[in-house]
Structure 1
Amino acid sequence: MAKKGVYKISGNTKPTVGKKEFYIVDQWYPATPLSDRNLAKVTWELFIKTDNGFRSTNVKKKGINHFTFGKNAYKYVYKIEGYLHEPEGNSPMSLIVYPQKNEEKKIVTEKNIKNVVLTYENGSTINKTLSYRDRLQATATCEGLEGEKIVFKLWEDDEAKNGHNNKNQFITKSPPVEVNKFGKAKWSFSLNSTFISLANKREDDKSKHEYYVTAEFSGKILEDSQNVNVTNPEYKIEQPQQLPQRPKRQPRGNSSPKPKQESPKASTRPSSPNNQPDMKGKISSIKLVDIHGKQFSKNPKFGDVIKLIIEGKDVVGQPYRLKLWEHDNTGEDDLLYNQEHTFKSDKQEVYIRLLDEYRTIGEIGNNSKKPDSGEYWTGNHQEIFAEVIFLGIKSESQRIDIDLKEEPKKEIQHVSPAIVKDPKQQEKKEDERTDETCGLEYRDKIQCTRYKSYGPVYWGALKLANYSNWNILLSSNKITLEEKEIIIGMSENEGKLDSVQSYDSEIVTVGAMQKTINPQGYGEFPIQMHEFKEEYPERFKKLFENCGWTVKKEGEKYRAYYLDTTGSDLKNKIRDGFNAKNFKKKIQCVPIEPLINAAKDPYFQAKQIEDFIIRLHLALNETIVKKYHLNNKKVRIADENFPFKAKDILKSKLGKATILDHSVNRPALTKFDLGSALNRFFDKYPNVSKNPSEWGEKHQEYEKKILDDYGINRKGTDMSIRYNRMKNNTFLK
């Protein structure tokens, strides 16, 4: 009797102790029934080597294909085997494993409060002056303080300079607030009228009170929030005249801002003395380049996006301040850009758009009352350079004005503060984005093309076959090896994982499966957006909501919006400027930039792969239609079904790839066109059993005849070419 079960497994033979390692089934014995080729049925057993050979450790896990070796496991030799029935004890169905000692040093996270933000109590952004009847919320973002307790304090700001000052009026404080597992701590409070008398004692400008919140741990203030201004209701105006405007706050300190001598810097001019390495050794390389990562061949111009590349060591999670300066030989250096960031990896890439306002700063300087002699990129000796400053334990948030005579903000349910209403506001946010760029870097890669109409297209660069995380999907049992080969085999017929276009009847089409937003704003892509939002809410916020895209459930359907626009208005917005005059030219199309960016995200790509598998299973489990008719709308209606499903006929990888290929393009027609091919087969071979389960050893032969008919006669574009391409693919042999 032929052997059945697991024939070959694979995985890491030198796992690091303390780290979870996955092992997968590479091959089954050919005689193993398809119903048994299920990873959930596989038992994984761990053996340890002794003087008398390997003996079982009694660690047996059915359907669970991962092991984590203890800290002393590196002293021993093990064997891992996967099987359906009984272990065979030999290779290739087993692996000899040599655990490795974990040499990694434990990273000690510094206890820190990164920022404190003031919002309304419901979390929405403060975008108007406030009332003493408003309720606010202070949110602290912390590092290394999970489970610890911090205290918030409310202060009234009297001092001239920005930032916390102990001379300011202390108002009240929170009880100890525990930092949750996500590093967040929140305190809700009201601006009580009892605070007015306290503030009136010391505030110079009594028409308005200014408040902020600090957060402290173990008695030490680590962070203060933005200020909010509140008009004093007890302030009496003697004459009905317009109140004078309170002057804007001047930059901290009496002198102009200056770069720190010891901080690492990078200049657009390679020979500049402003190129300076990190004295502390944390930054190994820092350089300013163009958006493509190349050195500047000429001075950049206003409106350009430049890139700062920072390479460091053990800096992940550390906050830093990035400053962009315009260098003057005759005047003081001018501060153009000043933002706080956090290292997401040891190689950080930050995109910065050169705004027109930088020109004014460069020409006048940072103090308009004392213009310096510098110019911005107009002389022979002008340059721009970046400075990186590692942040200490103290920082502050923005200031917000509060008008005491304003009515409190009315609560609006189910409104996200991340939804951008104003397109100009959205463009500004994209300009300020760094790590999450909303696809800004693809702005000069979108082309005007024509199919049914003129529109934008980004052809993409990532093939399904080159997807980099197949092993993760395999090891987590989200996909089988056969399914992987089926997808790769049919992938040459599909678009790229990161392709985006809007040139046909649909509003937009995204990804390898060509998911669309239909002319009304509904369709398969909004469904995919919703599912991705449910599974990865934080990534959805970064990739979509923060970039203007959102999805809403309306009735039983999901509808996509960009800046609160959908349907024909959205379609027109996306295609604005795409016409015969601009055919084949690179044209700006801000709305689809975030979609390109999302399509390049590895998590969203994994979602596309999983959708392929779902589509494959749905197609294979459809009941084949034996007879049908067309109604007056030319829609196919089943009159009679075969008593079996597509998977009863299509057993080979080529067969499964062919119906998946058809389903991706014409999902409603697979059961009809496969039924037509089956009818023609039975007409040609009347003596063949009408029950596929009785075909036995002839199944492969019969399937090939049916497949050769179905493959080239399927309804759709270029189906014959697509089928022949798959027939020649080695993954489908």
Structure 2
Amino acid sequence: KWDALDDVVGHSGSTPLLNWVAEKERIREISWWNEVAQGVGLPVDGQVYYLHPVGLVGQFLTRNGCACGCCLEIKFSRYRWVRKRRGYPDETYYGPVYHGTKKLNKFAGWEDLISKGKATADEKAIVIAMSSNEGAMDAIQAWDWQTFSAGAMQKTVTPEGYGELPKQISEFQADNPDLFEEIFARCGWSIRQEANGKRIYYSSRDTGNEYITGKALYDFIKKEFGQNDSEFPKTSEALASIASAMLHDEFQKKQVVDFIARMRVALSKLPLDYVNPASDFFQSRLGRALVLDHDVNAPGNVPRSLKSAIDILLSRHPGLSSDPSQWGENSQQYEKELIEIYGPSRSMNSPSERYVHLRSLL
């Protein structure tokens, strides 16, 4: 087999390299395989295959020994949900749900974020309370018209494969390329930049090793969790890997930082026809949590719902300024009244129930 290197070293019959000829002869003299192979049970052809057990296992395990959530034994229940919309017939959806194990109040990095000025004590309290309306940091649900949603803020993947979750994962990839490879890419998930934004793809042996997105991914995620399926709870390799990724320390931090950023954006929104942002009208933790809760679930409806609530408040108090900084010593009472109007009337799913829950916490 050493003759195969002749061309590489520049040896040929017409232009021999004497040193190379001598080296091959030396190798032949000290070779012993062919002489002993048959007698001791070694392959006569000289081809040896060896698997390094530790190295092999290392290819499938992440640093915490739990590749793609394989050791978490995550099982998903089936949930039935009826979508009710005025002027439209009811729509019934079925899909997997996993409520998760780790709430935001168990995030170990809160004090570090506060000490570095990346969060305040009020923001911590608001985010923890509001996230209880959404789910645990590793919560997954795929029972509505979206493909699935994940994490403490339940960021979604749309039926087309776009949405806030692909955007969040893409940002994580940009900041942590090696970790992205470890907790997402090795588990079959990828993010691509396309004309309409960041789009998520999934590939596994169950997809024929093809990367799928859009309707194919939507159908794949909900497969075996339909109305006529049974034997729940059951596993979902694709969704379990997402739940596992959500629990990585660095992705937990990403979720918290994004939650705080989202609250600041929500509070900067202007009610329709008013010049003061939501943060001026709501100084309390409860008021600000309600705005965040609204913005996470129905961001486009926030300015209109705020306007409606403020209009009602001002109609009850003729002469009251539309600028909350002018409310004087009664400002807390006016805010409390505004909260009581806005909380249960927000244009979103289950506003009253979510308002009552937040009020009990804050």
| TM-score bracket for the superposition, by shorter chain length | 0.7 to 0.9
Match of 1:566 in 2: 213
Match of 1:577 in 2: 224
Tell me the alpha carbon deviations over residues 623-657 of structure 1, each in whole angstroms, 9 at most, x when there is no partner: 111xxxxxxxxxxxxxxx21221112111111111
Q: Which amino acid aligns with 1:439?
A: G
Q: How does 1:234-249 map to 2 (within 5 A)?
A: 247=45, 249=47
Tell me the alpha carbon deviations over residues 664-715 of structure 1, each in whole angstroms, 9 at most, x when there is no partner: 1111111111110000111111121222221122211111111110011112
Residue 338 (structure 1) aligned with residue 136 (structure 2): no
Tell me the alpha carbon deviations over residues 217-273 of structure 1, each in whole angstroms, 9 at most, x when there is no partner: xxxxxxxxxxxxxxxxxxxxxxxxxxxxx9572367xxxxxxxxxxxxxxxxxxxxx
Q: Which amino acid aligns with 2:277?
A: K
Residue 685 (structure 1) aligned with residue 325 (structure 2): no
Residue 194 (structure 1) aligned with residue 1 (structure 2): no
CA contact (8 A) 2:75 2:236 kept: no
Distance 1:608 1:584, change over 3 A: farther
Aligned-pair distance for 1:621?
A: 0.8
Q: How does 1:457-496 map to 2 (within 5 A)?
A: 457-496=97-136
CA contact (8 A) 1:448 1:582 kept: no
Distance 1:710 1:551, change over 3 A: same
Please state whether the residue corresponding to 1:551 is helix, strand or coil: strand
CA contact (8 A) 2:62 2:182 kept: no
The equivalent position to 1:511 in structure 2, one of 138, 143, 151, is 151
CA distance in structure 2 between the aligned counterparts of 1:624 and 1:567, rounded to whole angstroms: 35
CA contact (8 A) 2:274 2:322 kept: no
Match of 2:344 in 1: 712
CA contact (8 A) 1:447 1:584 kept: no
Please state whether the residue corresponding to 2:275 is helix, strand or coil: strand
CA distance in structure 1 between the aligned counterparts of 2:9 and 2:77, rounded to whole angstroms: 59
Q: Which amino acid aligns with 2:253?
A: A
Match of 1:502 in 2: 142
The equivalent position to 1:665 in structure 2, one of 297, 302, 314, is 297
CA distance in structure 1 between the aligned counterparts of 2:202 and 2:46, rounded to whole angstroms: 35
CA distance in structure 1 between the aligned counterparts of 2:186 and 2:138, rounded to whole angstroms: 19
Q: How does 1:571-720 map to 2 (within 5 A)?
A: 571-583=218-230, 585-625=232-272, 641-720=273-352
Aligned-pair distance for 1:457?
A: 2.2
Please state whether the residue corresponding to 2:131 is helix, strand or coil: helix
Please state whether the residue corresponding to 2:100 is helix, strand or coil: coil
CA distance in structure 1 between the aligned counterparts of 2:315 and 2:142, rounded to whole angstroms: 44
Please state whether the residue corresponding to 2:300 is helix, strand or coil: coil
Distance 1:588 1:430, change over 3 A: farther
Aligned residues: CA RMSD:
3.0
CA distance in structure 2 between the aligned counterparts of 1:491 and 1:695, rounded to whole angstroms: 31
Please state whether the residue corresponding to 1:496 is helix, strand or coil: coil
Distance 1:434 1:650, change over 3 A: closer
Please state whether the residue corresponding to 2:253 is helix, strand or coil: helix
CA contact (8 A) 1:436 1:543 kept: no
Q: How does 1:46-445 map to 2 (within 5 A)?
A: 193-195=7-9, 197=11, 202=24, 247=45, 249-250=47-48, 338-340=53-55, 435-443=65-73, 445=75
Tell me the alpha carbon deviations over residues 358-377 of structure 1, each in whole angstroms, 9 at most, x when there is no partner: xxxxxxxxxxxxxxxxxxxx
Distance 1:509 1:248, change over 3 A: farther
Higher relative contact order (CA 8 A, sep 6+): 2
Aligned-pair distance for 1:434?
A: 7.6
Larger Rg: 1
Aligned-pair distance for 1:431?
A: 8.3
Larger helix share, 1 or 2? 2
Larger strand share, 1 or 2? 1
CA contact (8 A) 1:448 1:578 kept: yes
Aligned-pair distance for 1:568?
A: 0.8
Q: Which amino acid aligns with 1:698?
A: N
Tell me the alpha carbon deviations over residues 477-511 of structure 1, each in whole angstroms, 9 at most, x when there is no partner: 22111111111222321211101122221111111
Aligned-pair distance for 1:473?
A: 1.5
Distance 1:472 1:447, change over 3 A: same
CA contact (8 A) 1:526 1:558 kept: yes
Please state whether the residue corresponding to 1:651 is helix, strand or coil: coil
Match of 1:520 in 2: 160
CA contact (8 A) 1:487 1:612 kept: yes
CA distance in structure 1 between the aligned counterparts of 2:329 and 2:106, rounded to whole angstroms: 36
- Where does structure 1 lack aligned partners over 5 or more consecutive residues? 1-156, 159-167, 172-191, 204-245, 253-335, 342-349, 352-428, 626-640
CA distance in structure 1 between the aligned counterparts of 2:160 and 2:268, rounded to whole angstroms: 30
CA contact (8 A) 2:131 2:153 kept: no
Match of 2:85 in 1: none
Distance 1:251 1:551, change over 3 A: closer
Distance 1:195 1:596, change over 3 A: farther
